[in-house]
Amino acid sequence: MNIEAQKLKIIERFMKLKEESAIQEMELAITRIEMNNRADNSIKDIRQGKVRSLEEFSSEIKKWIETKKNTK
C-alpha cells in the first residue's frame, strides 16, 4: 500500500470518530509527531552546520520587518 492510500485509510478512520475526546487525542498525537519531526530536522541541520548566528538572524528579522512596514 502506498503512502497516499495509507493517508486515505487514516482519514476514513478519523471521520468515523464520534467522541470529541478521541478527536482531541488524535490532534495531540499529530501535533507531537509534527513537533518531533521539526526537532529531528533541526538537529540534522545543526549537525550539518546549517545554522546562523543570532546577529545574522536578528539582522534578517529587522530587514523583514522594514519590508513589511514599507508594503503597507
Instruction: Please write the tens of the pLDDT for every residue from 3-54.
Output: 999 999 999 999 999 999 999 999 999 999 999 999 999 999 999 999 999 9
- Number of domains the chain contains: 1
Q: pTM value?
A: 0.66
**All residues at 6 or more sequence positions from 10 whose CB lies less than 8 Å from its CB, including other chains:** none
Q: Which three cell numbers stand for residue 43?
A: 538537529
Contact between residue 37 and residue 43 where contact means Cβ atoms under 8 Å apart: no
**Residue-range definition of the domain harbouring residue 43:** 3-70
E strand or H helix at 8, and its extent? helix 3-15
Location of C-alpha cell 482531541: 24
Q: How confident is the model at residue 71 (pLDDT cuts 50, 70, 90)?
A: confident
